[in-house]
Structure 1
Amino acid sequence: MDKPRSVDHLVLPTADLEAARTRLALLGFTVAPEARHPFGTANACVFFADGTYLEPLSVAQRELCEHAAIDGNVFVMRDQAYRFRRGEEGFSALVMGTDKAEEDRRQFLKAGISAGLNLEFSRPFETPDGARSMAGFELAFAADLRAPDVFFFTCERKNAPDVDRSVLETHENGVTGIRQVVLSEQNPSDFQYLLQQVVGQREVNAHSFGVDLAAANADVVALNSAGLKGFFGVAGGTHARGLRLRGIVFATADLDAMEQRLKDREIAYAFIAGRLVVAEAAGQGAFFAFEQGS
């Protein structure tokens, strides 16, 4: 572990991309046009100025997905497994950035957490003004059989499109990026080694509520039920053993304006520990927490 990896993006399965777009827009996010993967899934991403993004993900062509799964496409296989176990709405994967996906695969194999063969693919990218380009990716997967409802991968971006994304990275709610990714588990320290390998971080802050790891650009936090309740007002501990991805903490430039937006649109929220917390909903597969910050 030379240095911690950065959080790249978060995968949020949804039954309907348009429903996700409506929900995210209501919360003040700018949502990119729909883009389709060559293996049957589609997304409509939310990009942030800090280089991270959300990936609401739907099944666009079921037959293509099924063929991809038969062919060993780990991304599709894990998405199908998540939807079968957890339903069509949720938060399935934490993705870390990398510039060496093949080396990551070897590292995950050595650590005993590899989830399968790397995946390479390209897909079209389009901005709101119609500019199009091709984006290429290579993914290296990690998982733990004790936690069937979450998976991890590193993402190497290849042929990165030379496109101005500033319009997509500007949001009415003032959000500039991701501060924390929140997981839950009854005894988070049981998964400390897995998280260390995924984040690329040796140092762990262990406490009575769970464990915190500092990625290069955000914190990855695994909390027990007391931690979820105390920090976010979220019920925990009702699911079986195993990590689950539960929530996302965003930095917003104007927390007061964000609160007024929630009131104006009659979106239920709670103010806890200096954050506005919005419970998960259709098209929003995780709880969202907003805190002051640039």
Structure 2
Amino acid sequence: MPHGLDHIVHAVRDLDAAAEFYRRAGFTVGARNRHAWGTHNRIVQLKYCYIEILKVAEPENIMPHGARSFSFGAYNRDFLARREGFSMLILNSSNAVDDARSFESTGIGSSGVFNFARQGTKPDGTPVKLAFSLAFAHDPASPNVRFAVCQHHFPENFWDPAFQAHANGAKAVSGAVMIAENPTDHHIFLKAFTGVNDLHSSSIGVKVRTENGDIEIMEPVSFRDQFGVSPAVEGEGMTLNALRFEVADIAQAEALHRQSRIASQRHVGRLVIPPDVARGATLIFETANFG
């Protein structure tokens, strides 16, 4: 079954400082949440997709990887030992158990389903129950990014328009952008992971249009030409480098950035916050016509 974007993990070393950056960039940022396995997060929620700003806060509680289990905490700890940035791309799921079986049958996953629950809080302070099931996937050629799908068991308690109102005018995540020296080397993985068979290849790279945003794999030179940022290439395979946001008015977002002293820059009709400002990530603001 095809999947759309659900969330992106932005691994950082200072959670509150990263949250303050997102706030200055014009996003509404949620309160700190704690996980039993040693990570803390704060959420930036958009329509049907969110950014999970994540820190390893209690390393003594991190569990190691198992023979058939993926340790979310251990992976992000090891990622942060190298750098900050987008560490995981996670799509939505209506049945994580079925997806785990599908990933195993296509050779991109061998972990069991990971289930967890925590208490959330509505904008008015009302506590609500949240629960999730994740199935993990892995492209062996790409050690610097991991993948998963996430099933929300109480979506009505999680998604809330009050959390999706942002001063910069961001409405939705219109796409996630990965980089690889040879994008077509990863099209088989991308088809198996997304469940979408109709991939679009061009001189820029490979793109899959999901029900909830695009997933693109670009060559580094194409990324630079499109967004004005020269990405650092880490070894072989894919890395997750950028998020594209749909905004109603780029000038509004730019004015807010100037006021907040966020060093964004215009490039080919887009507004871009480069990775040296955005803690290893590239944030791209564009109007709907860039989809």
- Normalising by structure 2, we get a TM-score of 0.93
Describe how 1:199-278 pairs up with structure 2 within 5 A: 199-236=194-231, 238-278=233-273
Q: Which of the residues 19, 43, 62 maps onto 2:41?
A: 43
Provide closer, same or farther for how the CA distance between residues 192 and 243 of structure 1 changes in structure 2, counting only shifts above 3 A.
Answer: same
Q: Which of the residues 275, 278, 290 maps onto 1:280?
A: 275
Q: Encode CA deviations 1:4-44: one digit per residue, 9 max, x unaligned.
A: 31100000001111011110000000001111112121110
5+ residue gaps, structure 1? none
211-220 vs 68-77, greater mean Cα deviation:
68-77
Q: Encode CA deviations 1:237-272: one digit per residue, 9 max, x unaligned.
A: 643211000000001122111111122223222212
Contact 1:91 1:246 in 2 (8 A): yes
Supply the AA of the counterpart residue of 1:181: A
Contact 1:180 1:250 in 2 (8 A): yes
Provide closer, same or farther for how the CA distance between residues 229 and 45 of structure 1 changes in structure 2, counting only shifts above 3 A.
Answer: same
> What SS does structure 2 have at the residue aligned with 1:260?
helix
Q: Distance in 1 between matches of 2:242 and 2:106?
A: 27
Runs (4+) of structure 1 exceeding 3 A deviation are: 67-73, 159-164, 281-285
Q: Encode CA deviations 1:191-245: one digit per residue, 9 max, x unaligned.
A: 1111111111101111122101111111101000221011111213643211000
Asked whether 1:166 is paired with 2:156, we answer no
Supply the AA of the counterpart residue of 2:45: F
Describe how 1:66-81 pairs up with structure 2 within 5 A: 67=63, 69=65, 72-81=69-78
Partner in structure 2 of residue 63 of structure 1? 60
Q: Distance in 1 between matches of 2:274 and 2:164?
A: 23
Identical aligned pairs, as a percentage? 30
Task: Tell me how far 1:285 sits from its aligned partner.
Answer: 3.5
Q: Distance in 1 between matches of 2:14 and 2:107?
A: 35
Contact 2:6 2:49 in 1 (8 A): yes
Q: Distance in 2 between matches of 1:115 and 1:147?
A: 16
Q: Distance in 2 between matches of 1:45 and 1:124?
A: 14
Contact 1:17 1:283 in 2 (8 A): no
Contact 1:178 1:251 in 2 (8 A): yes
Q: Which of the residues 138, 141, 144 maps onto 1:143?
A: 138
Partner in structure 1 of residue 9 of structure 2? 11
Contact 1:255 1:290 in 2 (8 A): yes
Describe how 1:90-239 pairs up with structure 2 within 5 A: 90-160=85-155, 162=157, 165-236=160-231, 238-239=233-234
Provide closer, same or farther for how the CA distance between residues 184 and 115 of structure 1 changes in structure 2, counting only shifts above 3 A.
Answer: farther
Q: Distance in 1 between matches of 2:15 and 2:215?
A: 26
5+ residue gaps, structure 2? none
Provide closer, same or farther for how the CA distance between residues 222 and 163 of structure 1 changes in structure 2, counting only shifts above 3 A.
Answer: closer
Provide closer, same or farther for how the CA distance between residues 130 and 281 of structure 1 changes in structure 2, counting only shifts above 3 A.
Answer: farther
Q: Encode CA deviations 1:120-161: one digit per residue, 9 max, x unaligned.
A: 000111234322112111100001221111011000111335
> What SS does structure 1 have at the residue aligned with 2:272?
strand
Query: RMSD between aligned alpha carbons?
Result: 2.0
Q: Distance in 2 between matches of 1:58 and 1:121?
A: 18
Q: Distance in 2 between matches of 1:155 and 1:133?
A: 19
Contact 1:32 1:127 in 2 (8 A): no
> What SS does structure 1 have at the residue aligned with 2:157?
coil
Supply the AA of the counterpart residue of 2:220: S
Task: Tell me how far 1:281 sits from its aligned partner.
Answer: 4.1
